Structure 1
Amino acid sequence: MIHIIDEKTDDILAVLSEADFFNDEYYEDLKAVETFKFFMPANHSKAGFLTSRRRIVIPGEDGEFKEFILTEPYLINNTKEFYTMGSFVDLRKQKVIDPIVLDGQTPSTAGDYVLSGTRWQIGIVEFTGLMTVEFTEPLDAYEAIKTVAQLFGLELRFRVEVAGSKVVARYVDMIQRRGELSGKEVVFGKDIEGIERRETAGELVTALKCYGPVRDDGTRLMVIVEDQEAFQKWNDEGRHLWGIYEPQTENTDMTEARLRSLGQTELAKRVTPQIQYSLKTIALEHVYGYEHEKVRLGDTNRVKDEDKNPPIYLEARVLSVKRSIKNRSRKEVEYGDFIEYSKEDVQAEWKVLRAQFRERLKKAKEDALSYTEEYAYSKAVIDTKDASVYADSTIY
C-alpha cells in the first residue's frame, strides 16, 4: 500500500490500497538514486490528495519504509501519472554547508554537523575511527553527507520510521557495505532469463605519459609508466599503445614518486579489454518453496551459465533493483563489479572445498570415536557386567 503524507505535519492523510493504483515501479541503486512511479484513474476519489511536493511512503522488502516526494504529477486523458524521488534529495534545499575544517571527526559527529537543522538524523553507523573532514567549497547538505560517507569509505542508506498515523523519524545510515556476501548462485535457466557479454578494447594502452598539475612557474612534472607484459601481448609492430593521464588534483607540489604511483595504478586499469555483462533475472523469492532465493541491493552473488562455450562463471554485485510493490514477482536486478573465473578456477576451488570437507569429516569421526572410548564400555566389559548382574539376580 501507499501512504500519502502531509508535507508540513508528517501526518498520514490517506492510504492507497493495491486496488487503487497500477503500473507501479520502484527503482534504487548504489549511487543513492531512488525513484517511484505509479498510475491512477483520473476520477479516483483519493487522486486529489496527490499534489506537487506531497510526500508518500511505501514498504520496503524487509519491513522498512521508504519516503518519496511527488515531483511530477501528470494528467493524460483519463489517467493520472505520478513520478517521485527519494525525499532525502530534498536535503539539497534544507541546508548549505560553508567551507570548514572539522578535526577529529567520526562519521557520526561529521554527519550530525551536516544534518543538524534538517529533517534527517544519523542512524546506524559502522565506523569508530577519527579523521579530519574538510569541506573546501560550499555544499548542500545532500552532497555534504555523501562526501562524509565517501571519506570514511561507507555507503549510505536512507529510511523513515512510521508510528501510528505519522512519520516520526528519518534516518541516514552509514554502513560498511550494503547487501550480503550471500554466496547465492544465480543460474541461467533458473534465475537468469538472458545474459550478454561485451568486450571493448578502445581504451586499452600499454604505456602512459603522466602529467602533474601546472606549477606556479608554469612547468609540469611528467613521467612515463609502462607495462611490459601488456606490451608483449598488444604492441603495434614493436610500438607501445600510448595514453595520457592527468590526476585530478590541485597539489602543485606533487613528487615524481607520487605521480609515478598514480600512473601505475591507472595503467593497471587500462592494460586489458573492458568486459561488461548484462543480466536479466527473475525474482524467485515470492514463489512458494523459493523463499530463500532473495536478492537485495548490494548483494554479491555467483553467476553461472554453463551452456556457453566457454562456460561463464562470475562473482558479481547487485548495483540496482527495479521492482513493483503491487506485483512482488516483477523484479529486475542489474549486476556489476564482475570478477570472471575460468572453469579451471572453479574446479580448483571445488577441490579445495572438498578436501576441507573431508578433513572436517575425518576429524568429526575421530572425535566421536574418542568420545565413545572414554564414556562407553567395550564388549568384554559388557559381557562381564552381564554375568555379574545375572549372578546377583539369582541371589535375589
Structure 2
Amino acid sequence: MADLYIFDHYDNMLAILSNETNGSVENTPCPFWNAMFKEELNKGSALEFTVPANHVDAKYVTDENSAAFMDKDANFRLFFIRETFSDESDGKATITAVCEPAMMELYDEAIEDKRIIGKSAQEALTSALENTRWSVGTVASLGLNTVNFYYITVKDALEEILNTYGGEFVDRIEIDGNKITGRYIDILTRRGSDTGKRWEIDKDILSLQRTVQSYPKTALYGRGKSIETEDGGFTRKTTFRDVVWSKANGDPVDKPAGQEWVGDPEALEKYGYGQSGGGFRHRFGIYESGEDDDPETLLMNTWLALQQAKKQIVNYSLDGFLLDSVEGYEFEKSRLGDTNFVIDRNFSKPIEVEARVIVYEYDVANPDDVGKIQFGDFIDLYDSDRLLGDVVSKINDKEGIWDKAENPEINGDNLPDILPDVPTLEAFGLFETVLIRWSFQYDMFVSDYELYGSQTPNFIPDSSNLLFRGKTSGFVHSIETDQQWYYRVRGVNTHGHTSAFSSEANTQTVKINGNNDIQPLTITNQLIAQGVSADKITTGTLDAGKVNVIDINATNITTGILTGIEIVSDDGNGNIVQIKDGTLDAYRSNNKIASVNEFGFQVYSEIDGSLVGSIRDEVTVPSNDPGFALNSYKNFLALGFGTTGQTSKRVAYFDRNTRIGEIDGSTEELDNGELILRSTRSGGTAAGRIPKIHLRNFTDTATPPTRWSGVIIDTGRDNNPPGGTDERFGFEVWQYRGTGDGSSKQMMKLDTDSSGTYAGIYTDLAYLPQTRMRAGNNNYFWPSMNLVSQNIQNIHGVQHSSIIGYIDQFTITMDAGQSQTFNDYNFSGAENIFHVIAVPYNSNAVNFNVAVYNQSSTGFRVWMRYIPGTLGSSLTITIRLLILYETIR
C-alpha cells in the first residue's frame, strides 16, 4: 500500500491519497496514479501524480500545497505542488500535479556573509541552514575545511559545502500525527553501497540503452591570474609558456618551452582528428584559473583539468523489474548511489560494466513494479552556470580588496596554492583491522589527506570509495578477518587542489584460530621462524599463491585445506563439473545446466542457457523467519514424478502467464484419484474432527464404492463447546478485500448453534433467480424483496441493508372545537426510515384523514383532519402504522 499526504501552507495534513481505492465508493480515500518519482544523485528530485477531479479531496491538489510520501528507504520526502493541469477525456476528468522538492525553498533563503574556517562539514551545514525551516540531520565525518558564503542562496551554499567537503545529500522530513514536525538535510559519505546486484537481460532488464557523449579535449591552454604592475595596471594573464616538463625527469608528460598548452598523447591518439598527411590534430580547450599566478602551479592544474576533459561520458539506462520487494529476492535490492553490475551480451560489443546508479525513477503508486535506472558518469548540467557564477562572485566579492588589504588575515584563501607532496603509503594487516600510515607534510597550505580503499586491485579512487578525510598521518580501518584490501591516499591544499595519488598499498587482515592453533604465551617470533618448513606442514590452510609448489600428487593429500585452486572433471564430450572461487558449475554438451553459488542451487535451460529456477534458503519480511524456497524464473513451476529427458508426470503445476494453478492427487490413469487438504495432520483427541477438504470421485467406505463427481467438505468443532468469542466452527467463506494489510470480510457461514443449524449470508447482494423458499408448514413461498429508488435515497439516506416492515399503532385525541391536530411518533433502532403508511382505525375512522410528514430516522409527525368540519366533542382515534426501515449497522 502506498499513500500520498497532502499538506497546507502551515504543515497541516488536509487529505491522504491512496493507491488501493478507485474512489467510486463514498467516504473512501482519493485515489492517485502515474506518480513518477525521479531522483538524481546530488542534483535533486521531481514528482508528478494524477487524481480524479470529481473526488471531494481533489480540491486539495492545488498549487502551493505540498505532497509527501515514504520512499523505499523509509524516509518521508516532501514536494511543493508548483503546477496543475486539468484534463477531461473519455468522460473522465483528472488533475495532474507537477511538483518540485521542498528543499528548493532554500533558493529563496539568502546568506549575506559567513566564513567557515577550519571546521567540519556539520558546522558548515549548521551555519548555512541557520534561520531557515531546515535542520542538520546526519552528517558524515569529512574532515576540516574552509568555505565562504557571500551573498548567495542557502541552496548554493549547500552546493559549496558538497564541492568543498565531498559527500552526497538526502533531504527528508518527519511527520507526527497530522503535522510536519521536522525538515532535515543529511550529508553522507556516499549514497548507496557496493551491493553486487546484477542487472541482466532475461532476468530483470526489460530494455537497456547505452549512451556515449563524446566531446573530449586532448589538449588545454592554461590561463591564470592577471599580475598588477607598478602603475596600478595589469599584465596579461599568467601562462606556463616558459615552463618545461620532461617525462625523463618524472613529469607526467613532455612539454617544451614556448608552448602555451599541454596535451595528452594517449588522448590525442584515441580522440584526435586525423590528418591527410598522417598523425592526429589536437582537440583544444581553455582552462581558466583566476587564482593561479605561479606558472608551475598553473601547468599542474591545467594537466589535472585535462585528465577530466579528455574523458567520454558513458551512461547506461534501463527499464527493469524491482524485485527486492518480492519475498526471497531481497538480495536484488538496488538504490540510488549503489554500485551494480549491468550485463547484456546481446550487443556486438557486449555490455559488462560496473557502475553507480545516478538516476532512480519509479511509480510511487506502484513501487514494486518497473523502475527506470541510469548508470554511469555524472552529467553536470550546471557546470557552465556555476563557472560563470564563480567568476562574477570573484569580481564582485573582492573588488578593491584583492591584493591591497592591510594586515591580511592568514587563512586558506591567502596561503600559496602549492600542491602537497605525493604521500608515501603503508598498510599493515592486523586482526579485524588494518593500520594505514602515510608521510605527513607540516606546511600550512596542506589542508587534508583523503584516503580511498577497495577490495578490487588497481581501483579508481572516487567519492564512492572514500574512507577518510582529515589532517592526520594515519587511519585504522575496521573490517572482517581474512580480507584483502587496496589503498591510495592523496593530499589536498587549502584551495582544494590535490596532489597525485600515492602508489597502491595492499594488505590482508589475519585469520587466527585461537582455540586450536595458539596456546597463550607459548609462541614467540623466534620459535615461529625456526619451526616452519614445508615437510612439517601436515594440517591447516595452505595458500597456493604464497608458496612455491614443485611437485604434488593428489593421493598424498589426506588432510588440511587447499585454497586458490580450481577443480575440473571433464569427460571430453562437454559434460563438465567445475569447482572454482566457491562456486560449483555443471555443463552438459558444453551448455551450463546447474550451479551451486551464493544464490543457492540454480538450474539453467539446456536450450538457451538462461536461468530457469533455484532452490535456496529464504527469510520472511519483516520478521526474518528462516525457511526453504523453490523458485521458477520462467513460465511455470511444476512438481512431479520424473521420467526421461525434460518431461515429467506432473502432480502440481503453476503457470505465470495464464495464472492457472493445478494440484492432482495422482498421475496414474485410474478413476480413484484422491486429494486431501486439511488444516493439520493430527489434532490429538479431536483428530477425526479436523476440518478438511476431501476431493475424490468415489466413496471408499461403501461396497461397492459409490461414484461421485463433486466435492466432499468435512467440517468439525474439535473438542471445544461452542460459544467462545475466540472460537469459530462450521464452514465459513471469507474474501480478501484488497486493503493491503491482509484483512478480509466474511461472506458466508454454515454452522450449528443452540437453536439448531443455520446458514448466514453476509454479502451485499444475494441472487435468488426463480427461487421459492419452504416455510415451517412445508408450504413454498416466493421470497419478498425490496429496493428503494435513488430519489427516495436522496431524501431519506442510502440503503445499506434489507427493508424491515414494522406494524404498530398509537392514538391521537382531537378536542372539541378543533378541525385538525397532530401527534409525534418516536422510533429507535433505525439507520434510515424510508416510508410510513398511516391509516385511521376504529368506528369513526371514515370521518378522518391522516398524513405523515417531518420523517427522519428517529420518528415522524402524524397529522389528522376531521372531514365534516369542526368536532363537536373530544374524540380519540387509533392510528395503524406500517413503517419501512433498515436497522442501524
Q: TM-score range by the shorter chain?
A: 0.7 to 0.9
Contact 2:122 2:136 in 1 (8 A): yes
Equivalent residues in 2 for 1:143-154, closer than 5 Å: 143-154=156-167
Q: Does 1:176 align with 2:189?
A: yes
- AA matched with 1:332: K
Give the one of 336, 344, 356 matched to 2:376.
Answer: 336
The one-letter amino acid of 2:361's match is K
Superposed CA offset, 1:41-67 (max 9, x none): 111110112232112211111222111
Match of 2:67 in 1: 56
Decide whether aligned partners of structure 1 residues 201 and 41 sit closer, same or farther in structure 2, where only a CA change above 3 A counts: closer
Residue in structure 2 matched with residue 186 of structure 1 by the alignment: 199
Tell me, in whole angstroms, the C-alpha distance in 1 between the residues paired with 2:187 and 2:168.
6
- Name the residue aligned to 1:68: 79
User: Which amino acid is 2:95 matched to?
Assistant: K
Once the two structures are superposed, residues 174-197 of structure 1 have per-residue CA deviations (whole angstroms, 9 ceiling, x without a partner) of: 111011111211222222223333
- Contact 1:38-1:83 within 8 A present in 2 as well: yes
Describe how 1:73-112 pairs up with structure 2 within 5 A.
73-77=84-88, 78-93=93-108, 95-112=109-126
Aligned partners of 2:217 and 2:306 also within 8 Å: no
Residue 369 and residue 101 in structure 1: after superposition, are their counterparts in 2 closer, same or farther (change >3 A)? closer
Paired amino acid for 2:282:
W
Distance 1:330 1:199 in 2: 24
* Letter aligned with residue 371 of structure 2: K
| Cα deviation digits, residues 16-51 of structure 1 (max 9, x gap) | 121211221111111332121111111111011223
Deviates more, 1:323-332 or 1:98-107: 98-107
- Opposite residue 63 of structure 2, the aligned amino acid is S
Equivalent in the alignment of 1:378:
none
The structure-2 alpha-carbon separation of the partners of 1:177 and 1:269, relative to structure 1 and needing over 3 Å to count, comes to same
- TM-score for the superposition, normalised by structure 1: 0.78
Cα distance, 1:211 vs structure 2 = 2.8
Q: Which residue of 2 aligns with 1:263?
A: 302
Q: Tell me, in whole angstroms, the C-alpha distance in 2 between the residues paired with 1:22 and 1:231.
A: 51
CA contact (8 A) 2:314 2:377 kept: no
Q: Distance in 2 between matches of 1:275 and 1:108?
A: 33
Counterpart of 1:283? Answer: 322
Rounded to whole Å, the distance in 1 between the matches of 2:208 and 2:182 is 41
Scaled by the length of structure 2, the TM-score of the pair is: 0.37
C-alpha contact 1:124 1:175 (8 A) present in aligned 2: yes
**2: CA distance, partners of 1:109 / 1:368:** 48
Aligned partner of residue 189 in structure 1, secondary structure: coil
**Separation in structure 2 between the aligned mates of residue 311 and residue 171 of structure 1, nearest angstrom:** 43
- Partner letter of residue 76 of structure 2? F
Which of 212, 227, 230 matches 2:224? 212
Contact 2:226 2:293 in 1 (8 A): no
Cα shift at 1:170: 0.8
Alpha-carbon distance in structure 1 between the residues aligned to 2:326 and 2:104: 34
Q: Give the CA deviation at 1:129.
A: 2.7
Paired residue for 1:12? 13
Q: Match for 1:228 among 265, 278, 291?
A: 265
Q: Pairwise mapping of residues 222-371 of structure 1 onto structure 2 (< 5 A)? A: 222=239, 223-231=260-268, 234=272, 236=275, 237-251=277-291, 253-271=292-310, 274-328=313-367, 329-337=369-377
Mean Cα deviation higher: 236-245 or 20-29:
236-245
Determine the C-alpha separation between the residues in 2 that align with 1:215 and 1:126: 40
CA RMSD of aligned residues (A): 3.1
- The whole-number CA distance in structure 2 between the counterparts of 1:29 and 1:280 is 16
Indicate the SS of the match to 1:262: helix
Distance 1:156 1:310 in 2: 36
Looking at structure 2, the residues matched to 51 and 231 of structure 1 have their Cα atoms a distance apart, in angstroms, of: 55
Q: How many residues align?
A: 349
Q: Offset of 1:126 from its aligned partner?
A: 0.3
Per-residue displacement from partner, 1:244-282 (whole Å, max 9, x unpaired)? 44334321x521112211222233345565544333333
Whole-angstrom CA distance in 1 between matches of 2:312 and 2:78: 41
Looking at structure 1, the residues matched to 312 and 213 of structure 2 have their Cα atoms a distance apart, in angstroms, of: 5
Q: Secondary structure at 2:302's aligned position in 1?
A: helix
How far 1:208 sits from its partner (Å)? 3.1
Q: Is the 8 A contact 1:25 1:325 kept in 2?
A: yes
- How many angstroms apart in 2 are the aligned matches of 1:130 and 1:268? 27
The answer for the alignment partner of 2:659 in structure 1 is: none
- Which string of whole-angstrom CA distances, capped at 9 and with x for unpartnered residues, describes residues 334-391 of structure 1? 11139xxxxxxx9x99xxxxxx99xx9xx99x999869x9xxxxxxxxxxxxxxxxxx
Shift of residue 325, structure 1, vs aligned partner: 1.6
Name the amino acid aligned to 1:302: F
Q: Structure 1 residue 115 and structure 2 residue 129: aligned? A: yes
Q: Which runs of 5+ in 1 are unaligned?
A: 339-345, 350-355, 374-396
- Structure 1 Cα separation of the partners of residues 97 and 174 of structure 2: 23
What secondary structure, in the 3-state scheme, does the structure 2 residue paired with 1:162 have?
Answer: strand
Which protein, 1 or 2, shows the higher relative CO under an 8 Å CA cutoff with sep ≥ 6?
Answer: 1
Contact 1:210 1:244 (8 Å CA) reproduced:
no
Hey, which of these two has a bigger chunk of strand by percent? 2
Residue 376 of structure 1 is matched in structure 2 by none
Asked whether the equivalents of residues 211 and 246 of structure 1 are also in contact (C-alpha less than 8 Å), the reply is yes
Contact 2:217-2:309 at 8 Å conserved across structures: yes
Q: Distance in 1 between matches of 2:211 and 2:85?
A: 38
Kindly state the Cα deviation for residue 303 of structure 1 after the two structures are TM-superposed: 1.6
Is the Cα contact below 8 Å between 2:316 and 2:374 reproduced in 1? no
Which whole-Å CA distance do the structure 1 matches of 2:33 and 2:313 have between them? 40
1:265-301 CA distance string (max 9 Å, x none): 2333455655443333332223343232111111111
Asked whether the 8 Å contact 1:56–1:67 carries over to 2, the reply is: yes
Aligned residue in 2 for 1:342: none
Q: Is the 8 A contact 2:319 2:371 kept in 1?
A: no
Q: What letter matches 1:219 in structure 2? A: R
What corresponds to 2:43 in structure 1? Answer: 32
1:93-132 deviation line (CA, Å, top 9, x unaligned): 2x21013322232222221111122111000010153222
CA contact (8 A) 2:268 2:280 kept: yes
Q: Relative to structure 1, is the Cα distance of residues 286 and 52 closer, same or farther in structure 2, using a 3 angstrom cutoff?
A: same
User: Closer, same or farther in 2 for the Cα pair 1:298/1:49, shift >3 Å?
Assistant: same
CA contact (8 A) 2:359 2:375 kept: yes
C-alpha distance 201-124 of structure 1, shift in aligned 2 (>3 A): closer
Corresponding residue SS for 1:219:
strand
CA distance in 2, matches of 1:334, 1:151: 26
User: 1:172 Cα deviation (Å)?
Assistant: 0.5
Aligned to 1:133: 147
Kept in 2, the 8 Å contact 1:25–1:324? The answer is: yes
